[in-house]
């Protein structure tokens, strides 16, 4: 199929939509890197709404079809391997992204989405997953991150400095095992 297709005089661009195959989207519809929630979710009771959001979020992180979800996947993977339990064992040896509590997934999604919106022009120098990875490492001050990326031009170097400052402005964060045996971010209740 060609990149564009003419139908009844209007140009339409095919886009892949998860689970629905190829769908034609008219050019006057703006496609963003944000997920729009299904309106039916708003009418569900809170517990069912959170479960539905969790399923949708994990599905989109796994597919990684948008910049936001690739970024979020990199962020969460870095959080898992860079964080340790009480014995010093990396969390990714026993846990995965699906082990993260719903509220923490939602807070990570909100923070990553906001970071992408605010730093959009500086994020173009690295791939989405690498940017998410670097956000975790930089904001936790782990000794690596945006500031030590090897870039080969002055504008990219300046962008890495800007991203480092923006990451530090988010504040430090920890990933820990909660009493419910799920993983939680230390700031999950502060993000909303």
158-171 pLDDT tens trace: 999 999 999 999 99
CB burial readout 40-71, b (16+ within 10 A) else e: eeeeeeeeeebeebbeebeebbeebebbbbbb
- pTM to 2 decimals? 0.76
For residue 84, what is the DSSP state? B
Give the C-alpha separation, 67 to 127, whole Å. Answer: 9
Query: In this predicted structure, what is the pLDDT of residue 2?
Result: 41
Across the range 139-164, mean pLDDT stands at 93
- What torsion do the CA atoms of 41, 45, 46, 50 make, to the nearest 10 degrees? -40
Asked if the model's pLDDT at residue 133 lies above 50, the reply is yes
Domain ranges of the chain: 1-31, 33-185
> Do 138 and 167 contact (CB within 8 A), yes or no?
yes
Position 53 pLDDT exceeds 50: yes
């Amino acid at each position: 199929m060609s990149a564009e297709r003419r139908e009844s005089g209007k140009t339409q661009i095919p886009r892949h939509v998860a689970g629905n195959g190829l769908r034609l989207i008219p050019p006057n519809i703006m496609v963003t890197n944000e997920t729009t929630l299904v309106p039916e979710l708003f009418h569900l009771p809170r517990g069912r709404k959170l479960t539905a959001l969790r399923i949708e979020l994990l599905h989109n992180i796994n597919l990684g079809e948008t910049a936001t979800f690739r970024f979020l996947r990199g962020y969460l993977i870095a959080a898992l391997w860079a964080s340790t339990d009480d014995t010093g064992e990396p969390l990714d040896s026993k846990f995965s992204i699906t082990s993260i509590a719903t509220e923490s997934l939602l807070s990570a999604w909100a923070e990553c989405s906001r970071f992408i919106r605010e730093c959009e022009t500086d994020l173009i120098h690295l791939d989405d997953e690498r940017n998410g990875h670097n956000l975790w490492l930089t904001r936790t001050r782990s000794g690596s991150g945006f500031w030590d990326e090897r870039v080969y031009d002055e504008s990219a170097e300046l962008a890495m400095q800007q991203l480092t400052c923006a990451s530090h402005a988010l504040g430090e964060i920890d990933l820990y095992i909660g009493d419910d045996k799920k993983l939680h971010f230390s700031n999950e209740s502060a993000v909303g």
